Structure 1
Amino acid sequence: MHPITPAADADPPSPASGLSRRQCLARLATAGGALGLGGCANTPPVIDAAANAQALRARLAAQIGTEARVDGPISLYEAMGRALKYNLDQKIEMMDVALRERQFEARSADMLPTLVASSGFSARDNDAGSRSRSLLTGRESLEPSTSSQRRSTTADLALSWDVLDFGLARVRQRQQSDERQLSMERRRKVINRILEDVRTAYWRAVSADRTAKKLADLEVLTGRAMRQAEELEQRRIASPNLVLGYQRDLLQVQGDVQKLQRELSLAKSQLAALMNLNPDASFQLVLPDRTDVVPELPGSAEEMVLTGLRFRPEVREASYRQRILRGELDAAFLRALPTVRTVLGLNHDSNDFLYNPQWVSLSARVSWNLLDVFRYPMQKRALEAEAAMLDQRDLALTMAVATQVHVARVRFVRLSQELNTAQRAQGVQERLLGQARGAFRARAISQQQLVREEMNGVLSEVRYDVAYSDLQNAYANLYASMGLDNFDVDIDADLPLKKLAQELEEHWTERALSLPAMPAKSS
């Protein structure tokens, strides 16, 4: 046995000098109170709205500046590619997918045991001594002694594992995986909407570009004919009823022209916004030749409804939400169970009085929150009620999807018939215009009648273009109602725009002509 002697570096008792301990504590309290009051008085400045607006505009301009330049006329598939690559709504959803991916990785780490390293330092201005008193005689049995130094450091490394925490972390990880899939489905929904909007805006913008000059010429011609008719009315050269009827026809044509100009003039700005170009950006479009070839229905009504129920993002989201809710049921059940927590530690203490300054510790503890046992039935009933609500919502969603597919299908069929009628009407009007021009040269009809036929010819041509753009819109809506985006395109910043446009054209001209095959039923 070795006698325990005080350490060589033990501090001797220090005489009181300078400020007393009470004065030091008072000054520390005063300083702490002053800091607290100073923190409460710290009011953040008001945001400068004007500077913020300029900064946002500069950031948007910088973002647009990183995009591929518009070097020539934009085709439909280049417009789609630009929208998928640069559209800000699509970028938000893409970043949300990346966020859910990082959150999933973080949830995976929750299942690991806890490993905590800690270190501490303690000091005092005198020795921590103690005396002993006999319980039998009440007399002091030992003189005062100490078993610790005035200054010491401690360190430990503890590995702990909780069975209940591990089970809950596993459930949360599965739920986070479903949340990641939910974000992917939301992105698919945005992509479907973007493609539908691009196709609609593109064909309307094509109609606007193709007929802009003709509509402007028609408006000038209508205005000149209107002035001539008013002059005839004032001079009473022709029958008043005939002149007024002619003016009424001219005003009706002028109103139709202005309405078409209003509808078509917005399409190019909408297309620019979808492609993330400045709303006032000047660009040209590829103007396809007029054709009587129209898209065809890709399948029967029943096949299209089943395809919609299979691919619509909203239907898939509902399935993932059901699975997330089942995870909540599992979590509620696990919380009602007892848990076992084990701790394995490596410890060190610099106190020289200790016989074993390093040691390994092992402990285990079983705990059970009995109140969770009583809470579980109530939580289970609440979650079951939510599951019943989600089931009913799924039925309503199924009906909505089926209805939307049927409506989109009927609309496409009707617009195909309207396009056929508009095409035939244009052919008839072209023949009428040819007859009117010949009759005017032979002086068989008046100039007013020729002007009327000229205006009707331009209007019939514009109506045909509008009918064709409406059919293309219905075609895009048909695919959006089924939730189809089944093209293998990796939309990222590194994919060249030209390559993306080629893949989109290949999809929409070849693979999109038929519906995806339904998987074989398992026996």
Structure 2
Amino acid sequence: MGSVWWKQTILLILMVMASGCLVKPYVLTKDDVRTRVTNDMKALMAIEEPVIGPIDLYEATARALKYNLEARVKAMQAQLAHQQLNVAHYTLLPQISANAGFDGRNNFSGGGAQSLLDGRPVLEPFTSSDKNVTSGNLALSWDVLDFGLSFVRAQQAADNVMIAEEEKRRIAVRLVQDVRSAYWRAVSAERVLHRVEFLNESVGKALESAQQIVDKKLQAPLTPLNYRRDLLNIQREVQRLYRELSTARTQLASMMGLPPGTPYELTVPVRTGHVPLVNLDTESMEKQALMFRAELRSIDYQKRISAKEARAVFLELFPSLKLSFGGYYNSNSFFLYQNWLGYAAQTSWNLLSAFRTPAKLKAVEAHREVLESQSLALTMAILTEVHVGAVQFVHAKQEFQNARQYHETQSAIAEHTRNLWLTRSTNDLTLIKERVNDVLAEIRLDSAQSGVETAYATLMASLGEDAVPAGLGAQSVADLAGALKKLWEPAGLRTASVERRSEIHATSVAR
């Protein structure tokens, strides 16, 4: 009978082991990939708040902050960090365990006893346990050392929450910068779209006229050929500038989280000569950047985590003390008391921890030095960004001034040429050439204006400018756009040390 039980047990073990070998790797099927593609496309095409009218700068920024996929990832990571902190709080609590069990066998457990003096049996075989026994307990246990380590880990989890929040803020600042740049470039493209269409039509006719002059030998060949070359150069320059501006519309749609190909209209502001004025000196710019840049603040939190890690290493040197208390039950009829309360205290110490601690402390110190080096490298990079951003901003405003003056001059020339053409004092080719030059001047002006806005946004981002209102996730696009408008107007983006105004004439950034 016993051999049968052994055979059945061995057979069961072999069957369980064989089942572990049945799992094989397999590649994704086409249906799996197709399902994933379908689900992803549905998610991308779903617009939570559809576009119902022309989009201005505030709505574009609001949509980017709410629906940009990268911003959403960072927001989810921040939420994950908060949840991990909540989990860390529970590790500070003692353990309360409830256990229930059943033990059975086909015969009684029993035994005997013999004398140590002469080896004779002193008792008949006996048993002290039923064949089938049920048991259960409800016990509370608390490890003092684990509590100390869990407290340190919870503090580190809290710092990780702040790192995730800083990363989310960094992405928001960068989004505001990128949206501002893309929006003004897209607006510039909208402004000159009809002029570019006119240019292509006019240049085509002018080139045909010039070719007819060459073919009919109405003039010396060199004159119409030079004219053709000038027109083609102007057309090529216009097309290059327009191509650079026109891609901004697609980029802006992507930033706003709109599916590719979604039609939308932009609010095109009236063109003015106003440019941002930043009233800052170098020292205040540097201080603000070093105080508010999210990258440096993240490293500060990482330093705190590293310091707490050193504290955890020291705690691991101490012995563990485990306290327990609980109620127990056992159905064994041979027990005098089947219900009882139990309590215990147990201490243990890993003697090898004393040898492991120095190596751990060296690793913590090495990590601290790495963080210090990263902080210095980031500080230098940020200071460079601030200075470069200020210089680029000044140059962009100077380029805008030049482009505005050039546009005014060219407009006057085009108008004067038109008057001459009306009085037949000049020919059609000269008129077309000046009108094409006028289109080029207008495109250069819009390109320069978008360059100023881009340089301004870059400068604000280099300063760590936090231009996003609180309560971002709970607001609709319309509410968030309104909050952004209140925050940015009438003075625009501002902090305690930053002021933005609009003036006709650009002024330099103080050095």
Residue 237 of structure 1 corresponds to which residue in structure 2? 218
Name which of 488, 491, 503 aligns with 1:508.
488
Per-residue CA deviation, residues 292-323 of structure 1 (Å, 9 max, x unaligned), is 11111142222122111111110111101111
Contact 1:307 1:515 in 2 (8 A): no
Could you tell me which residue of structure 2 aligns to residue 5 of structure 1? none
Alignment of 1:37 with 2:21, yes or no, is no
Distance 1:272 1:50, change over 3 A: farther
**Residue 166 of structure 1, CA deviation:** 0.8
CA distance in 2, matches of 1:361, 1:176: 35
Say which is worse superposed, 90-99 or 35-44, in terms of deviation. Answer: 35-44
The amino acid that maps onto 2:98 is A
Q: 1:495 aligns with which of 440, 464, 475?
A: 475
Q: Aligned partners of 2:170, 2:187: CA distance in 1, in Å? A: 26
Alignment partner, residue 377 of structure 1: 358
User: Does structure 2 retain, via aligned residues, the 8 Å contact 1:489–1:500?
Assistant: no
Matched residue, 1:90:
71
Query: Within 5 Å, which residues of 2 pair with 1:189-200?
Result: 189-200=170-181
Offset, 1:244: 2.0
Equivalent residues of 1:132, 1:142 under 8 A apart: yes
State the shift of 1:505 in Å: 1.1
Q: 1:49 to 1:403 in 2, by over 3 A?
A: farther
Q: 2:140 aligns to what?
A: 159
Tell me by how many angstroms 1:230 deviates. 2.0
SS where residue 277 of structure 2 aligns?
coil
| TM-score in terms of structure 2 length | 0.93
| CA apart distance, 1:517 | 5.7
* SS of equivalent residue, structure 1 residue 355: coil
The equivalent of 2:504 in structure 1 is none
Tell me, yes or no, if the aligned pair for 1:298 and 1:514 is still in contact at 8 Å. Answer: no
Structure 2 residue identity aligned to 1:264? L
CA contact 2:467–2:493 (8 Å) conserved in 1: no
Q: Secondary structure at the match of 2:275?
A: coil
SS of structure 1 residue aligned to 2:270 = coil
TM-superposed CA distance for 1:48, in Å, is 3.4
Give the stretch that moved more between structures: 37-46 or 91-100: 37-46
Structure 1 residue 67 corresponds to structure 2 residue 67:
no
Superposition deviation, residue 165 in structure 1: 0.7
Change (3 A) 1:435 1:209: same
* Distance (Å, rounded) in 2 between the aligned partners of 1:234 and 1:179: 76
What is the identity, as a one-letter code, of the residue corresponding to 2:487? H
1:173 aligns with 2:150: no
CA distance in 1, matches of 2:81, 2:298: 15
Q: How does 1:48-59 map to 2 (within 5 A)?
A: 48-49=29-30, 52-53=33-34, 55-59=36-40
| 1:422 and 1:463 in contact (8 A); partners too | yes
- The change in CA–CA distance for 1:298 and 1:165 in structure 2 (over 3 A counts) is farther
Distance 1:274 1:225 in 2: 41
**Could you list the per-position Cα deviations for residues 14-60 of structure 1 after superposition, in whole angstroms to 9, with x for gaps in the alignment?**
xxxxxx34234424433543454344234365323465346434444
AA at the equivalent of 1:342: L
2:119 is aligned to 138
The yes-or-no answer on 1:77 pairing with 2:58 is yes
Give the secondary-structure state (helix, strand or coil) at the position aligned to 1:340: strand
- Does the C-alpha gap of structure 1 residues 511 and 175 become closer, same or farther in structure 2, counting only changes over 3 Å? farther
Q: What is the match of residue 425 of structure 1?
A: 406
Q: What pairs with 1:256-335 in structure 2 (closer than 5 Å)?
A: 256-335=237-316
For residues 179-228 of structure 1, the C-alpha deviation after alignment (integer angstroms, 9 at most, x for no partner) is 11111111111111111111111111111111111101101211221122
Is 1:186–1:313's contact at 8 Å kept on the other side of the alignment?
yes
Report what 1:434 is aligned to: 415
1:362-408: per-residue Cα shift (whole Å, max 9, x none)? 22222221211112112212211221221122111111111111111
Deviations 1:323-348 (A, max 9, x none): 11111111111112222122223222
Q: Name the counterpart of 2:501.
A: none
- Range with bigger deviation, 291-300 or 508-517: 508-517
Match of 1:252 among 207, 230, 233: 233
TM-score between both structures, scaled by the size of structure 1: 0.90
Deviation, 1:451, is 1.2
Greater gyration radius: 1
Q: How does 1:387-466 map to 2 (within 5 A)?
A: 387-466=368-447
Which 4+ runs in 1 deviate beyond 6 A? Answer: none
1:266-315, CA deviations, whole angstroms, 9 ceiling, x for partnerless residues? 11111111111122121111110011111111422221221111111101
| 1:471 counterpart (452, 458, 471) | 452
Q: Give the number of aligned pairs.
A: 498
2:373 counterpart letter in structure 1: Q
Bigger mean CA offset, 428-437 vs 151-160: 151-160
Equivalent pairs: percent with the same residue? 37
- Corresponding residue SS for 1:72: coil
Q: Distance in 2 between matches of 1:513 and 1:194?
A: 14
1:139 is matched by which residue type in structure 2?
R
Task: Report the Cα distance in structure 2 between the residues aligned to 1:511 and 1:435, rounded to whole angstroms.
Answer: 40
Tell me the residue number matched to 1:16: none
CA distance in 2, matches of 1:54, 1:228: 59
Compared CA separation, residues 148 and 342, structure 1 to 2 (3 A): same
Q: In the alignment, which residue of structure 1 is the partner of 2:465?
A: 484
Q: Does 1:214 align with 2:195?
A: yes
> For structure 1, which segment, 114-123 or 58-67, has the greater mean C-alpha deviation from structure 2 after superposition?
58-67
Task: Please say if 1:228 is aligned against 2:225.
Answer: no
Return 5+ residue gaps in structure 1 as ranges: 1-19, 519-523
Structure 2: where are the runs of 5+ without partners?
Answer: 499-511
Secondary structure at the aligned position of 2:352 is classed as helix
